[in-house]
Chain A
Amino acid sequence: AQSVAQPEDQVNVAEGNPLTVKCTYSVSGNPYLFWYVQYPNRGLQFLLKYITGDNLVKGSYGFEAEFNKSQTSFHLKKPSALVSDSALYFCAVRDGTGRRALTFGSGTRLQVQP
């Protein structure tokens, strides 16, 4: 069965500092990996995805993520955090076997302090 772990319930970072939100996964076969962001009382917004190719994926709002196959990780990063980045972040995975469901992590709350 596929699974996703987001080991940190909350990440605190000062504005202007780099941020990292961690994600590790377990799937059979090749993984398709996604990051979503959720602002209060809103739905999930798609940030970026890894399908194949370059291990560094660039997405919306200056976010990027690095796929590491040997460590089964897909950490979300941003070089310089903004207060407006404060939100709930979800990592999700789908395997290559034909299952339609995305499996989500439990989410990490990012708090960027001014």
Chain B
Amino acid sequence: DAGITQSPRHKVTETGTPVTLRCHQTENHRYMYWYRQDPGHGLRLIHYSYGVKDTDKGEVSDGYSVSRSKTEDFLLTLESATSSQTSVYFCAISESKGTLQETQYFGPGTRLLVL
């Protein structure tokens, strides 16, 4: 999975609790992304990062925040988890040139269940 790890791989939590998912890469790529995968929707972008401390919103960013203090780590936080955030979360990275031609490579995913 292209030098990308995600932790935890599975998590069960309760509504209203904060949750942080971690993505770690060993490729030294500049761009990192968080997507969620839901049946019938494919993958949808939550947030992405184009460098340390540089982040921007995707199409489904409400209820999520991100941080990137090191090149290799990109954290996704659910401030107060809701049942609608039950999903599979994927981290992706892409090459450092920043062109639109670049390929995104995906991590193994984190399966989150909010009760």
Contact = CB atoms under 8 A, between A and B. Distances in A.
Interface of A: 4, 32, 34, 36, 41-46, 49, 51, 90, 92, 94, 96, 98, 100-102, 104-107
Given A43-B108, A49-B103, A106 B40 contact: yes
Contacts, number: 56
Nearest to A1: B59
Given A100-B48, A104-B44, A106-B42, A43 B101 contact: no
Interface residues of B, number: 25
Interface of B: 1, 4, 31, 33, 40-45, 48, 50, 56, 58-59, 90, 100-101, 103-109
A39 to B, nearest CB: 11
Q: Chain B interface mostly helix, strand, loop or mixed?
A: strand
A105 B41 CA distance: 7
Contact of A100 (B4, B31, B41): B31
Given A32-B100, A107-B42, A100 B105 contact: no
Nearest to A44: B106
A43 B42 contact: no
Contacts of B58: 101
Given A32-B100, A43-B90, A44-B90, A104 B105 contact: no
Contacts of B4: 43
B43 A44 contact: yes
A34 B105 CA distance: 11
Nearest to A36: B106
Most buried by A among B1, B44, B100, B101: B100
Contacts of B42: 4, 90, 92, 104-107
A101 B101 contact: no
Nearest to B101: A51
A96 B24 CA distance: 28
Contact of B100 (A92, A94, A106): A94
Given A43-B106, A44-B106, 6 more contacts: A43-B4, A44-B90, A94-B100, A100-B45, A102-B104, A105-B42
Contact of B41 (A36, A42, A102, A106): A106
